[in-house]
Structure 1
Amino acid sequence: MPSILVVDDSAIDLKRASLLLQKHISEARILTAVDGQVALEIMEREQPQVVVTDLQMPVLDGLELVVKAKEKFPLIPVVLMTAAGSEAIASNALRIGAASYVPKNQLANDLARVVSRLLGAARERHNQVRILGCMTEASFCMENDRDLLVDFVHHFRELMQKRAVFSENDCFRVSMAVDEALANAYYHGNLEVSSKLREQDSFSFDRLAKERRGQEPYSLRKIYLSLNLGPVFRVVIRDEGPGFDQQSLPDPFDPSFVERPCGRGVVLMRSFMDTVEFNDRGNEVTMTKQTNLETA
């Protein structure tokens, strides 16, 4: 059963909005609060799907509630009920995170419609998380396109967050490790641009990478990535370059190595993941890390 939290210090307006929502969204449970501070406490305890709030209230007003709700409960949309003359404040609230607003003189016409639309989006997010929770493996074959790889890492981090595979901090660290491994596959693997060139002349490094993006065979190469989501997270990233000699890698934990502009990706990968292993050819890396998922 979805729940909707209505917040207003006016008993009359609070009852009016609550009754409208109950009438048109009969399957919903209606919660109420008389100010923003009480609303935050209820949000913490009940996790409503949508919050509908007045703008002007004591203790914590609607604008402050939008800010705090966005910070603490980013997935719970907040709808503002605005009185005449508060349009500028409502516009500001939309810029800082409110999902929508409804003028109080239009509640009967618009409130239930706006809230119903947001409830539908909340159901979609919930079902998406359930579906993602069923995923145990995934494989990707990606063009050698740096923008695509950056977008992939962004969506990968969102997936990890939705699945609650790692803590928030570990989500960031694992995403960084994956990003560094993909960057290595892109630059040093498929484009065959040496990290030593970056150390000597970063401008020449970027120029050569740009040139090779449009040249064969470099432009035809792909990056392959596979994920395994279980008690131990496993990611395998392979490029189509010639590979490298692992013995040529300097010790990433040598203090002098930290000052060098290249090779830091290996430091991050080994620091953020439990294991990092390259194949004999040097064009594939396998990384693992313990997750929060229980053994089936």
Structure 2
Amino acid sequence: MLVVDDSATDRRLVGGLLEKQADWKAIYAADGLQALTQIEMQHPDVVVTDLIMPRMNGRELVQAVRRRFPEVPVILITAKGSEQIAVKALQYGAASYVSKKALAQKLPRTVEKVLAAVREGRTQTRLMSLMTRSESKFILENDPDMVAALCSHLKQTMHCVRLADESDRIRMGIAVQEALLNALYHGNLEIGPNMHEMEYAELDRLVRERRERPPYCHRRIHVFVKLSTDEATYVIRDEGPGFDPSRLPDPRDPKNLGQPGGRGILLMRTFMDEVRYNEKGNEVTLTKRLRSKASAA
């Protein structure tokens, strides 16, 4: 894990959080230029970077890594005052972000999510690249394990989509995962945006309780997937009460970046070419197109 920050104290703080996990080792760089040298020499699995740094900031580092090392995902650490850079960095290729005030709770989980996407992708690349077209439908109960299994399967099938490089496929996988998790927790189980602030045991208890109690237990998640060599479409619908999409604050607006809700929608809108909700707000369609077509649109 490469940690990039011009503050030695913050570098060690982030590195310490990462090294609490089994088999994770942190290496360090003080700015973007040092980070590029470290990537070339050390080949890290993931880069965790601050945004505001001298010589080369986080957004510029994301662009350089995307261009020179597209297989290495970059996770941003955001803080008050860096929101505009963070939005641009996500648009330019960062895989995810974590607010500095929530590092201890969210950084290890976010890194593990991104690493899982990378591992799954690499093992299936050759086989799935032979597929030219696929359509599939799934109906899931409110089971987090089944949602995780479907996420894994869908990430593997993305290798038949010759839309982009490995970095783009990682980002597509994260966008679809966020949509599925929204359908499960916010849609069918009606758990509010403050769920990310709950202790794991408390959230687990609430999820188990609602999975067994009407009306939540009768609801299902419906997933339709259509893949070809030049377009990928994911339609994800829950059976919850929905919401009014027109009232949803734009999560791409820097002032909304640190809000407790909307993180998943930010990642979906940034990583996919089109994100569209139905009128009820309980169905989202995610589309990714071949780059040349997306540019011409």
Shift of 1:174: 0.5
Which of residues 195, 198, 202 is equivalent to 1:198? 195
Q: Give the AA of the match of 1:248.
A: R
Matched, 1:223 2:238: no
Which residue matches 2:278?
279
Rg larger for: 1
Provide the aligned length of Structure 1 versus Structure 2: 168
Q: How far did 1:205 drift?
A: 5.1
* 1:254 to 1:292, Cα distance in 2 relative to 1, 3 A: closer
Which of 209, 212, 223 pairs up with 1:211? Answer: 209
Q: 2:187 is matched with which residue?
A: 189
Candidates 117, 129, 142, aligned match of 2:140: 142
Q: What value does the CA root-mean-square deviation take over the aligned residues?
A: 2.8
Instruction: Report the secondary structure of 1:155's partner residue.
Output: helix
* Larger relative contact order (Cα-Cα within 8 Å, sequence gap ≥ 6): 2
Q: Give the CA deviation at 1:246.
A: 1.2
Query: TM-score under structure 1 normalisation?
Result: 0.51
Specify the alignment match of 1:242 in structure 2. Answer: 241
**Distance in structure 2 (CA, Å) of the matches to 1:136 and 1:154:** 16
Equivalent-residue separation in structure 2 for 1:148 and 1:217 (angstroms): 20
Distance 1:208 1:228, change over 3 A: same
1:220 shift after superposition: 2.0
Residue 165 of structure 1 deviates from its aligned partner by 4.8
8 Å contact kept, 1:193–1:205: no
Q: Contact 2:237/2:284 (CA < 8 Å) preserved in 1? A: yes
Percent of aligned positions that are identical: 43
Task: Provide the C-alpha distance between the structure 2 equivalents of 1:159 and 1:173, rounded to a whole number of angstroms.
Answer: 14
Q: Which residue is 2:172 aligned to?
A: 174
Structure 1 contact 252–263 (Cα < 8 Å) conserved:
yes
> 1:143, 1:152 → 2: CA distance?
12
Distance in structure 2 (CA, Å) of the matches to 1:293 and 1:257: 31
Provide structure 2 residue ranges, at least 5 long, that are not aligned to the other structure. Answer: 1-70, 72-124
The CA deviation string for residues 263-295 of structure 1, in whole angstroms up to 9 with x for no partner, is 10000000000010100011000111113799x
Question: How far apart are the structure 1 equivalents of 2:292 and 2:132?
Answer: 12
* Residues 1-296 of structure 1 mapped to structure 2, 5 A cutoff: 129=128, 133-161=131-159, 164-195=162-193, 197-198=194-195, 201=198, 206-230=204-228, 231-291=230-290
Stretches (4+) displaced over 6 A? none
